[in-house]
Amino acid sequence: MFHGDLPYSSKDIIKKLETLTEEHVIGCGGFGTVYKLAMDDGSEFALKRIVKMNEGFDRFFERELEILGSIKHRHLVNLRGYCNSPTSKLLIYDYLPGGSLDEVLHGKQRSEQLDWDARLNIIVGAAKGLAYLHHDCSPRIIHRDIKSSNILLDGNLESRVSDFGLAKLLEDEESHITTIVAGTFGYLAPEYMQSGRATEKTDVYSFGVLVLEVLSGKRPTDASFIEKGLNIVGWLNYLASESRQQEIVDPHCEGLQAESLDALLSVAIRCVSSSPEDRPTMHRVVQLLESDVMTPCPSEFYDSNSE
């Protein structure tokens, strides 16, 4: 039985599920496989089949998904429905045609399509989505796995945060602290790797890494860093020590504006501070992005979509 606000019967959805094959797979991750689900009326959705389950999972799954399904924000991927049967754990989200930020930055088309304004808009959108989870949800939601593959894009390259709540959903509900680190190597705050304790500030660190990834077009663990014993944060720190931090920008990025870049790098450097206390909140990050980064070069997109 499917729950949610989908305008289809469970029978109609199950009928479509039975037609899914490997050709419909649009993503795979630690939580399961994602399929593109096309209904008869032409509507498209992303269906996530959860494969990781813990003992006593069913009751917790249902309770948490009721919360996640009630969370709506323009910069969060919308959870439209779910199925919690003894044999299947399925989540249905709105389908976003732009794919993931990871695909745009590192896929076949690579990041040539992303000019400076597009990159800023993606960063601001992701920041607003994460800030909403941290500051406007009750209970608050710590994402635990902010990375480029969890930032999805619509047809206008507007970003939405996905997979929020899943790391908590799939951990041991009896332990209020994640004892096994749930994030992705390269994005993890130093204290998170040491303690396994996820906080808003560990999300802020991951967001800072994401900003550097968007700026550079390089993965956080790019081979060029690893050869030097660095990650993307170490590379930034090295460049900053020689006053060369502007070299971090992807050479394919068109329309770069130096004033905005300096302001954005200042925000990123604060976010990836080794000390959690020195990192800003996501609410503050959004304020800084809007006042210091976007103001010097307002784009038509930003003017029409700012909140």
Angle between helices 116-135 and 200-216 (to 10 degrees): 170
Distance of CA 105 to the CA centre of its chain: 14
Enumerate domains of the chain plus CATH numbers: 2-94 (3.30.200.20), 101-305 (1.10.510.10)
Binding residues for ATP, by number, are 52
Name which of 192, 218, 214, 215 is nearest 204 in CA terms. 192
- Which DSSP helix (H) or strand (E) runs through 28? strand 25-29
Nearest-angstrom CA–CA distance, 26 and 153: 14
pLDDT per residue as tens digits for the range 210-255 = 999 999 999 999 998 888 888 999 999 999 999 999 999 999 899 9
As given in the structure block, the two tokens for residue 166 are 């899943």
Distance of CA 130 to the CA centre of its chain: 8
Q: Which residues in the chain come in under a pLDDT of 50? A: 172-180, 298-307
As given in the structure block, the two tokens for residue 153 are 């894009």
State the catalytic residues: 145
Mean pLDDT of the chain: 85
pLDDT per residue as tens digits for the range 281-294 = 999 999 999 999 98
Binding residues, by number, are 52
Dihedral pair phi/psi, residue 38, rounded to 5°: -110, 120
